[in-house]
Structure 1
Amino acid sequence: MGDDMAGDGLAVVSGGGTGIGRAIAARLAGEGRRVVTVGRRAAVLEQAREEIEREAGPGRIVPVAADLTDPAAVAAAADRIAGLGPVDALVNNAGAIVTPPEDDSLAALARSWRHDLDVNLLTAVLLTTALQGALRRPGGRLVVISSAAAQRGGAGPHSAGSYAAAKAALHGWAFGLARQLGPDGITVNVLAPGYIEETEIFGAGWSEEFHARKVADTLVGRAGTPADVADAVAYLVSPACGYVTGQVIGVNGGAVLGR
């Protein structure tokens, strides 16, 4: 996407089969882009493709199944993506909160943290590094999806803490990328969503009390939606966003004030 182009280029969205990633893919496809959705579950990606293309039209979604914690799988996926043309926008959305350690041992804690760092941090680092040479110069857009937990800290002693730490690590990494890629005309920004309903993280199993507490924590009196995040991404990957880079932007209804 050069600065003179509309939204008709190639975008890559990791974790694009469900929740926030699916909403981002749908939004960008609706703007006329081709969107590569990357995720571990081929069947989930295919279902999302069928649903999105009912609205956006055929040929807009290219599902690529890959485990983004596996360097060999990332390299293979990147080769396939690079063959589709220059990448105008890369949205690193893949990530999850993992289960707590299986026991109280340090070994179990180490396994839990390493897994969470792999899923929430290494996935973005590997995919971005593999595709860095394919980013359009000038005009490429790179967006990293973080979390308000990176700014507030995790709520639990184990897995939530590692999730917050992994997401916070994305910020420093993205700042370095912004410095590195800025001279090439590529912007790098971080989005930090707060409480977003209709996602696998905040899905079934959470109590009404939990929901009410999260909503009360906002200034606007409602939960966020995947579409709220997708709207922000659509701006950050647009030609209009050429002078915004190296920023952390909260999408949290005011639950975390600007910092």
Structure 2
Amino acid sequence: MHIVTGGGTGIGRAIALALHARGKRVLATGRRRGPLDELAAASGGGIAVLPCDNSAPADVRKLAETVDAPVTGLVHCAGGNPAITRPHPTSLEDEKALLDETIAGNLTSSALTVNALRPQMSAGASIVLFGSIAAEHGVGYYGPAKAAVASYAVGLAADLGPQDIRVNCVSSGYIADTEFFSGTLSAERAEQLRQQTAIGRTGTPDDAVALALFLLSPEARHITGQNLHLNGGAFTTR
């Protein structure tokens, strides 16, 4: 079984549908029932869905209880930047609330999901966490939260390696056709992000699908503990 969190929209949805098309059994989670129902319908009922806030222990515990087969792949796409849709904090209490929510949605959700499903993961399984190019640019609290996800993947890979479970992080740049910016991204800013790439092309969910499917496959059996940048050259590693 493959688990895809944040599977109702964007990259998670694309990965869930791609896995289903390749004959994999898929369970997708998301916080909103509507997009999950649409995903299930798009798969002809082949993808099982479960409303779940992956930063909430009770919800993640329910997810683990729902899984009735060994988990061979986990793709954790749940997360986001809540600062995009709210006013700038005007008090320390508001600042803390934003920080807590950002860390919870990205790092806490990763850790809770992995730990809940860890007993059910089979030898040879692959975990793919999603970071962000924001970790390299220090974007508010979202960048640090995603940097923490990438760091978490490194330690987790060492921890799970003896069980023949691989862990990698995909840190994506701007990916079009997702709900990440909640309609707030201007055409001018989107063009700026495109121009920052070396190849002059904006990323798409299919680009993330291709990399995730590779990391989940036996062909990537010697790749673990890595942070793979998916941004068309907008940020380069040395």
Q: TM-score, normalised by structure 2?
A: 0.95
Q: Give a deviation string over 1:61-104, Cα, whole Å, max 9, x none.
A: 110111212101110111101x2x10000011101110356542
Q: State the Cα distance separating 1:43 from its structure 2 match.
A: 2.1
Tell whether the 8 Å contact from 1:196 to 1:202 is kept in structure 2 after alignment.
Answer: no
Alignment pair present for 1:193 and 2:172: yes
Cα root mean square deviation, aligned: 1.3
1:119 corresponds in structure 2 to 105
- Give % identity: 38
1:173 corresponds in structure 2 to 152
Which runs of at least 4 in structure 1 moved beyond 6 Å after TM superposition?
A: none
- Opposite residue 95 of structure 1, the aligned amino acid is G
How does 1:76-225 map onto structure 2 within 5 Å?
76-81=62-67, 83=68, 85-99=69-83, 100=86, 103-137=89-123, 139-154=124-139, 161-202=140-181, 204-225=183-204
Q: TM-score, normalised by structure 1?
A: 0.88
Tell whether the 8 Å contact from 1:27 to 1:231 is kept in structure 2 after alignment.
Answer: no
SS in 2 for 1:197: coil
Q: State the Cα distance separating 1:203 from its structure 2 match.
A: 5.2
Alignment pair present for 1:12 and 2:3: yes
Match of 1:36 among 27, 48, 60: 27
SS in 1 for 2:159: helix
- Opposite residue 63 of structure 2, the aligned amino acid is A
Which stretch has the larger CA shift, 195-204 or 10-19?
A: 195-204
1:24 corresponds in structure 2 to 15
Unaligned runs of 5+ in 1: 1-9, 155-160
Unaligned runs of 5+ in 2: none
Q: State the Cα distance separating 1:216 from its structure 2 match.
A: 0.4
Q: Give a deviation string over 1:96-132, Cα, whole Å, max 9, x none.
A: 1103565422221111100111111111111110000
Q: Give a deviation string over 1:120-161, Cα, whole Å, max 9, x none.
A: 111111111000011111x1000001101112221xxxxxx1
Query: CA–CA distance in 1 between the matches of 2:232 and 2:90?
Result: 36
Q: Give a deviation string over 1:169-222, Cα, whole Å, max 9, x none.
A: 011111111001111111100000001001111453321210110000001101
Q: State the Cα distance separating 1:16 from its structure 2 match.
A: 0.2
Query: CA–CA distance in 2 between the matches of 1:215 and 1:76?
Result: 40
Aligned residues: 236
Query: CA–CA distance in 2 between the matches of 1:202 and 1:216?
Result: 18
Query: CA–CA distance in 1 between the matches of 2:113 and 2:18?
Result: 21
